[in-house]
Amino acid sequence: MYNPFSLEGKTILVTGASSGIGRATAVECAKMGAKVVITGRNAERLQETFDNLEGDGHTQIIADLSDKQQLQYTVDQTPTIDGIVNNAGIGKTLLFKFIDREDFNEIMQINFFAPVFLTQLLLKTKKLQKDSSVVFISSISTFAVGVGDSMYAASKGAINAFVKTLAVELAKQRIRVNYIQPGIVETHIFDSGVIDDEQLKETELKYPLGRFGQPKEIAHAAIYFLSEASKWTTGTGLVVDGGFTLL
């Protein structure tokens, strides 16, 4: 059957697959025919994702990607791949005057340095093949401003800028590099209580399509970038936000 979005025959690495957007991405990629390599820190939740993967030949890697040695271990355990979804990340809300270097360092380590150096190591070891696709999960926070979001927005803005140059550098190998900018998606990222329930309800009403996103809806955007359907798309960002940033 004709399906330009098929991932049949591809192996895809998904970081942060023990939860939320990463879990949905791994599950949906497997449904589209991919073999997936999933990473996370929490072994129990990563196993839950693994148990929900259709098909066989999938693998899981438990690692903290903000740790240099564990990042190298992840690369060592990763087979040759056709795509990566750099999804693992954290949110942190703090007014600028209260931010110190440790706060900034924590968020940059996982949201920026980990995906950047993971991608570099995969390229250096030739595990990321010609014609492959690199996807970063960014955020609308780079242009839809939220008070207290400066560190998070900077970590994602750095990714967006980085993608543009990388896309040009890797174009000769026909490796495409793109990012997705989700609006608010219902995942554990909000469990830390960074946004209170009342504030969340109020914000949801502002979404033109009437609700926050579901992890699967970001996974489907990732599938577009990972598949042959986006063969001529590189260095670009896709906003998936229920219309929120139109207003």
CA angle 114, 120, 121 (to 5 degrees): 90
Q: How far is the CB of 154 from ligand NAP (least distance, A)?
A: 12
Q: How far is the CB of 188 from ligand NAP (least distance, A)?
A: 4
Site for ligand NAP in 52-111 (CB under 6 A): 64-66, 87-91, 110
By CB under 6 A, residue 211 contacts ligand NAP:
no
238 part of the interface to ligand NAP, by CB under 6 A? no
Stretch near ligand NAP under the rule CB under 6 A, chosen from 124-132, 162-170, 185-193, 229-237:
185-193
Which of 139, 178, 227, 234 is close enough to bind ligand NAP by CB under 6 A?
139
Quick one: which segment of 41-49, 75-83, 160-168, 200-208 binds ligand NAP (CB under 6 A)? 41-49
Q: Can you say whether the dihedral through the CA atoms of 7, 12, 17, 22 is positive or negative?
A: negative
Nearest approach in angstroms of CB 120 to ligand NAP is 17
| Known active-site residue 207 | no
Q: Which residue in the list 73, 152, 179, 224 is annotated as catalytic?
A: 152
- Paired tokens of 100: 């110190």
Q: Is the distance from CB of 222 to CB of 180 less than 8 angstroms?
A: yes
The full length of the chain comes to 247
Distances (CA, A) of 52 to 25, 44, 94: 12, 13, 36
The burial of 207, by beta-carbon neighbours within 10 Å (0-12 exposed, 13-18 middle, 19 or more buried), is given as middle
Q: Are 14 and 26 in contact (CB under 8 A)?
A: yes
Q: Where on the chain is the footprint of ligand NAP (CB under 6 A)?
A: 16, 18-22, 40-42, 45, 64-66, 87-91, 110, 137, 139, 182, 184-185, 187-189
**Annotated active-site positions, please?**
152
